[in-house]
A and B are shown apart, each in its own frame.
Chain A
Amino acid sequence: MADTYDVVIVGGGPGGYVCAIRCAQLGLKTAVVERDRMGGICLNWGCIPTKALLRSSEIWHLMHRLEEFGMSADNFKFDIEKVVKRSRAVSKQLSDGVSFLMKKHKIVVIPGEAKLAGKGKLIVTKDGKTTDVSAKNIVLATGARARTMPGLEPDGKLIWTYREAMVPTMFPTSLLVVGSGAIGIEFASFYKTLGAEVTVVEILDRVMPVEDEEISAFAAKAFTKQGMKLKLGTQVTELKKGADNVTCTLKAKDGKTETVVVDRVILAMGIVGNVENIGLEVAGIKVDRTHIVAGKYGETGVDGVWAIGDLVGGPWLAHKAMHEGVIVAEKIAGVKGVHPLNTSNVAGCTYCWPQVASVGMTEAKARETGRKIKVGKFPFIGNGKAIAMGEAEGLVKTVFDATTGELLGAHMIGAEVTELIQGYVIAKTGELTDAELSHTIFPHPTLSEMMHEAVLAADGAALHI
């Protein structure tokens, strides 16, 4: 007879493993089913290894600016294999770390693929062998994968998804990136910085379309200046594979077509939830397109089955999944006063160069709501630390409700903004208003002073511009 767990989590990604730790902390007997490595896409094929790659490209970029800082060096070069090797080592270290955390919390990791098999039952398949697992609660956290489209299918050799793009064995001299969301633009930035010819195709009329329009425009300008080619309002109609290159046919909004020949193509057209082969149909769990329809506490409508993370829809971010993991764990344990996740307080970070980070409503979205708003902006060029760092390119922008002083949104582009955005996230979560932010003393000299100035600017009271 198989063990009965209080909670079994299907998927060891950031949502799943965090949920497991929280369950264990709350005294629940917990197991995680994982078919690959602990940490999921985030640690192994997403957030973390790409940050390692981008760090390499950042250093490369700085090497080219040595003169500016009063230094010189000859003959520096990079070895893509070593760059990738470092990235993989970082992933491994963290994945091993998660495995250790599981052990530390006495969480059982069951290798294999799980499928719902009736109330409180899962069948786990590993190398053709099946095991029954019983659980009072099952948390589905199977994550998501790259979206593909007819005619735009990856082959793993010439046409990549994030997965191949992360472990190149050769450095492509030319590259076409399909999609300018966070994933696409990070790879575009990485390869462009290391010297590839990069063309980004975006079906909408601006890059990073979820960001504030002004940030998109700022980013587009910066990317173009770096030599990136942006094809906006453009679709890829055909990818014709050659021996070691791909001929891409692009069709612009006005109907004009052109062809581009590149070494490799990266597909980054969004992601779809991993809803297949986990027994959702049998269990009667509702699926809307590629995502599970879940309640605000991760309820699936089926007693004892919960769902979190990318599987239940956007924003497709590890930190959102982690928070949902905590919410579900606390719900299962009967913790009082659990609050649902508020997506308007979830920040998005893109580690391209310059970095982009944002939380809450864009200016346009805020205006759409019909309320009176006020907008504050402050450029990096007015900040001492930014200039000292040699990173004077960027912008911080705040959007407030003019009546209540509520921070509706904050949008940033420039060096290190991904590390800064949390300040605005705290302000939003704690429901601070423009008054508290104005009265906050930001340390000098830091980039964070720009966050203060962008608040003051909303009242026309910015000090350093």
Chain B
Amino acid sequence: MATNILMPALSPTMEEGKLAKWLVKEGDTVKSGTILAEIETDKATMEFEAVDEGKIGKILVAEGTEGVKVNSPIAVLLDEGEKADAVPAAKHDIPAAMKDIGAAVKAEVAPKADAPKAAAPAVAAAPKTDGTRVFASPLARRIAADKGIDISALAGTGPRGRIVKSDVENAKPGAAKPVAGAPAAAGGGIPGVAPLPDARLLYPAGSYEETPHDSMRKAIAKRLTSAKTLIPHYYLTVDCNLTALMAVREKMNAAAPKDKDKKPAYKLSVNDFIMKASAMALMKHPDVNASWTDTAILRHKDADVGVAVALDFGLITPIIFKAQTKGLVEISNEVKLLAGLAKEKKLKPNQYEGGGFSVSNLGMYGIKSFTSIINPPQSCIIAVGAGEDRAIVVNGKIEIANVMTVTMSADHRVVDGGTGAKFLATLKQFIEEPASMLL
């Protein structure tokens, strides 16, 4: 019996993605494990494998199509002997009233291994993946889902900016653009706050080059706008004396075994020490290793530490999971691996979603100190500046020391000032006396 191949949910929060490339064509025979297509999400490009065998009957969604909803049919898989025009088993006969039960829309072809099986409900009334809630009527959501309109990109005209039926009916499928002047990424804006004007209005045409947002740029804009708008940030700054750490690092790197090309097995960076120190400090201060929800604070049992990786085309924060169990060399090598994957857009969602804490380091650019925006669902992030020789006062005397400034941004809903300060004191201690991490 012919079945529909459905757009896979490559992460629990994925709602739609771009069908970047078909790797099979109509008439191809596929078996379990055959790579069918490349799917691009806001963070990564992933390969999509077949789980059943059969013949590709018809490709329903052309490659290059953006905004393909999770669970929408993208191709038809035929059983042996079936004609190319065989129609998949009716799966749209589900009574409309049942439609919003995600399970009712069964995915015939589910992505393997990493991707969770549970498909996202077709019409989610839940908060957006980035934490901003879209206010929309159920009817507006239903029509938007049917027409393939991204409801979060619409401006609502209902009570208090709620998106209502007429807003969706007036929008064009797939090309939902916010009303001119409405904030593009703020999910319809904040009641009572004037939207920012469209910058185009302020510059003469032709005086700039326009680069349309790619999905990562959109995700960055949305996530950071909501994080900075919705999370009550506060900041704590501490200076760390790196003298001891630099000495230890030098010794350890010198002791690294070398292969036949004289390439050392590892080369620890200052950042690797900071990652390790963060993990250790988080285990001592579980209140910091926590996430906010509307009803409870989630304290994480492992120290999953994210590391911000700057990319030519954006930014991503892959995570060293269970960093408290990992040694410096393991952390160092894993960071390198993840950063490499990130640069090739090959990170999988389970490599960057979640986490309990993040480290953002701009020291290599000579930045002295800065503040970061919290990376939800985490509650704290440290912004690490450059280690530099500074004059410090020790026992009443001025001395030269290698000092680095660390500024932590904390979510005050989760981490109060005293808690944050105690954590930072521990972190400082671990950084200044790396040996104390062994205690």
Binding site for B on A (CB under 8 A): 337, 339, 402-406, 430-436, 438, 455-456, 459-461
Tell me whether A431 and B137 are in contact in the complex, defined as CB-CB below 8 angstroms, given that A337-B159, A339-B159 are known contacts. yes
The reply to whether B159 and A433 form a contact with Cβ atoms under 8 Å apart is no
CB distance from A326 to the nearest CB of B (A): 13
Contacts of B160 in A (CB 8 A): 337
Tell me whether A431 and B165 are in contact in the complex, defined as CB-CB below 8 angstroms, given that A337-B160, A405-B139, A436-B138 are known contacts. yes
Residue B158 is within 8 A (CB to CB) of chain A in the complex: yes
Residue B95 is within 8 A (CB to CB) of chain A in the complex: yes
CB-nearest residue of chain A to B163: A431
Instruction: Report Cα–Cα, A435/B165, bound state, in Å.
Output: 16
Which of B96-104, B316-324, B367-375, B394-402 makes up part of the contact surface? B96-104
Tell me whether A406 and B165 are in contact in the complex, defined as CB-CB below 8 angstroms, given that A431-B138, A432-B139 are known contacts. yes
Instruction: Report Cα–Cα, A366/B49, bound state, in Å.
Output: 46
Q: Which of A406, A431, A434 contacts B97 (CB 8 A)?
A: A434
Per-residue CB contact flags for chain B residues 296-338 toward chain A (1 = under 8 Å, else 0) read 0000000000000000000000000000000000000000000
Among the interface residues B95, B97, B99, B138, which one has the most CB atoms of the partner chain A within 10 A?
A: B97
Q: Which of A404, A438, A459 contacts B139 (CB 8 A)?
A: A404
The reply to whether B97 and A459 form a contact with Cβ atoms under 8 Å apart is yes
Per-residue CB contact flags for chain B residues 154-181 toward chain A (1 = under 8 Å, else 0) read 0000111100110000000000000000
Instruction: Report Cα–Cα, A433/B142, bound state, in Å.
Output: 8
Contacts of A406 in B (CB 8 A): 139, 165
Residue B146 is within 8 A (CB to CB) of chain A in the complex: yes
Among the interface residues B98, B137, B142, which one has the most CB atoms of the partner chain A within 10 A?
A: B142
Contacts of B424 in A (CB 8 A): none
Tell me whether A459 and B95 are in contact in the complex, defined as CB-CB below 8 angstroms, given that A404-B146, A406-B165, A431-B164 are known contacts. yes
Instruction: Report Cα–Cα, A20/B159, bound state, in Å.
Output: 23
Contacts of B139 in A (CB 8 A): 404-406, 431-433
Residue B140 is within 8 A (CB to CB) of chain A in the complex: yes
Interface size on B, residues (CB 8 A): 20
8 contacts between A and B (CB under 8 A): A404-B146, A406-B139, A430-B137, A431-B138, A433-B96, A433-B139, A436-B138, A459-B96
Secondary structure class of chain B's binding surface, majority of residues: helix
The reply to whether A435 and B137 form a contact with Cβ atoms under 8 Å apart is no
The reply to whether A461 and B95 form a contact with Cβ atoms under 8 Å apart is yes
Contacts of A438 in B (CB 8 A): 97
Among the interface residues A339, A405, A461, which one has the most CB atoms of the partner chain B within 10 A?
A: A405
Contacts of B140 in A (CB 8 A): 431
The reply to whether A435 and B159 form a contact with Cβ atoms under 8 Å apart is no
Contacts of A432 in B (CB 8 A): 137-139
Instruction: Report Cα–Cα, A436/B100, bound state, in Å.
Output: 9
Residue B51 is within 8 A (CB to CB) of chain A in the complex: no
CB-nearest residue of chain A to B160: A337
Residue B143 is within 8 A (CB to CB) of chain A in the complex: yes
CB distance from A56 to the nearest CB of B (A): 40
The reply to whether B138 and A435 form a contact with Cβ atoms under 8 Å apart is yes
Contacts of A456 in B (CB 8 A): 97
Contacts of A459 in B (CB 8 A): 95-97
CB distance from B28 to the nearest CB of A (A): 35
Instruction: Report Cα–Cα, A288/B161, bound state, in Å.
Output: 35
Per-residue CB contact flags for chain B residues 67-98 toward chain A (1 = under 8 Å, else 0) read 00000000000000000000000000001111
Contacts of A337 in B (CB 8 A): 159-161
Q: Which of A430, A431, A435 contacts B96 (CB 8 A)?
A: A435
Among the interface residues A406, A431, A438, A455, which one has the most CB atoms of the partner chain B within 10 A?
A: A431
CB distance from A431 to the nearest CB of B (A): 3
Instruction: Report Cα–Cα, A435/B139, bound state, in Å.
Output: 9
Instruction: Report Cα–Cα, A456/B143, bound state, in Å.
Output: 20
CB distance from B121 to the nearest CB of A (A): 11
The reply to whether A403 and B138 form a contact with Cβ atoms under 8 Å apart is no
Please name 4 further chain A to chain B contacts, defined as beta carbons within 8 Å, in addition to the given A339-B158, A431-B140, A435-B138, sorted by A numbering. Answer: A403-B96, A404-B143, A405-B99, A432-B137
Q: From residue 383 to 428 of chain B, which have CB atoms closer than 8 A to chain A? A: none
Instruction: Report Cα–Cα, A404/B139, bound state, in Å.
Output: 7
Contacts of B142 in A (CB 8 A): 404-405, 433, 435
The reply to whether B96 and A402 form a contact with Cβ atoms under 8 Å apart is yes
The reply to whether B99 and A435 form a contact with Cβ atoms under 8 Å apart is yes
CB-nearest residue of chain A to B139: A431
CB-nearest residue of chain B to A456: B97
Contacts of B161 in A (CB 8 A): 337
Per-residue CB contact flags for chain B residues 104-147 toward chain A (1 = under 8 Å, else 0) read 00000000000000000001000000000000011110110010
CB-nearest residue of chain B to A455: B97
Contacts of A339 in B (CB 8 A): 158-159
The reply to whether B137 and A405 form a contact with Cβ atoms under 8 Å apart is no
CB-nearest residue of chain A to B97: A438
Instruction: Report Cα–Cα, A436/B101, bound state, in Å.
Output: 11
Q: Which 9 pairs show the lowest CB-CB distances between chains A and B?
A: A431-B137, A431-B139, A459-B95, A438-B97, A434-B97, A405-B96, A433-B138, A435-B100, A459-B97
CB distance from B407 to the nearest CB of A (A): 39
Contacts of B165 in A (CB 8 A): 406, 431
Contacts of A404 in B (CB 8 A): 139, 142-143, 146
The reply to whether A405 and B97 form a contact with Cβ atoms under 8 Å apart is yes
Instruction: Report Cα–Cα, A459/B97, bound state, in Å.
Output: 7
Instruction: Report Cα–Cα, A459/B104, bound state, in Å.
Output: 16
Instruction: Report Cα–Cα, A432/B143, bound state, in Å.
Output: 12
Contacts of B164 in A (CB 8 A): 431
Contacts of A461 in B (CB 8 A): 95, 97
CB-nearest residue of chain B to A459: B95
Among the interface residues B95, B98, B100, B160, which one has the most CB atoms of the partner chain A within 10 A?
A: B95
CB distance from B333 to the nearest CB of A (A): 50
CB-nearest residue of chain B to A406: B139
Instruction: Report Cα–Cα, A339/B159, bound state, in Å.
Output: 8
Contacts of A402 in B (CB 8 A): 96
Instruction: Report Cα–Cα, A403/B100, bound state, in Å.
Output: 14
Instruction: Report Cα–Cα, A396/B138, bound state, in Å.
Output: 23
CB distance from A57 to the nearest CB of B (A): 40
Instruction: Report Cα–Cα, A431/B161, bound state, in Å.
Output: 14
Instruction: Report Cα–Cα, A394/B164, bound state, in Å.
Output: 33
Contacts of A435 in B (CB 8 A): 96-100, 123, 138, 142
Per-residue CB contact flags for chain B residues 16-42 toward chain A (1 = under 8 Å, else 0) read 000000000000000000000000000
Instruction: Report Cα–Cα, A404/B95, bound state, in Å.
Output: 12
Among the interface residues A432, A436, A460, which one has the most CB atoms of the partner chain B within 10 A?
A: A436
Instruction: Report Cα–Cα, A257/B164, bound state, in Å.
Output: 53
Contacts of A430 in B (CB 8 A): 137-138
CB distance from B24 to the nearest CB of A (A): 33
CB distance from A323 to the nearest CB of B (A): 13
Instruction: Report Cα–Cα, A461/B96, bound state, in Å.
Output: 12
CB-nearest residue of chain B to A336: B192
Instruction: Report Cα–Cα, A100/B133, bound state, in Å.
Output: 43
Tell me whether A434 and B158 are in contact in the complex, defined as CB-CB below 8 angstroms, given that A404-B139, A406-B139, A406-B165 are known contacts. no
Contacts of B100 in A (CB 8 A): 435
Instruction: Report Cα–Cα, A403/B97, bound state, in Å.
Output: 11
Instruction: Report Cα–Cα, A438/B160, bound state, in Å.
Output: 26
CB distance from B260 to the nearest CB of A (A): 66
CB distance from A457 to the nearest CB of B (A): 11
Instruction: Report Cα–Cα, A459/B95, bound state, in Å.
Output: 6
Q: Which of A403, A431, A460 contacts B146 (CB 8 A)?
A: A403
Contacts of B96 in A (CB 8 A): 402-403, 405, 433-435, 459
Instruction: Report Cα–Cα, A434/B140, bound state, in Å.
Output: 13
Contacts of B123 in A (CB 8 A): 435
CB distance from B436 to the nearest CB of A (A): 56
CB distance from A341 to the nearest CB of B (A): 13
Instruction: Report Cα–Cα, A430/B96, bound state, in Å.
Output: 18
Contacts of B99 in A (CB 8 A): 405, 435
CB distance from A298 to the nearest CB of B (A): 19
CB-nearest residue of chain A to B125: A436
CB-nearest residue of chain A to B165: A431
CB distance from A442 to the nearest CB of B (A): 15
Among the interface residues B138, B143, B160, which one has the most CB atoms of the partner chain A within 10 A?
A: B138
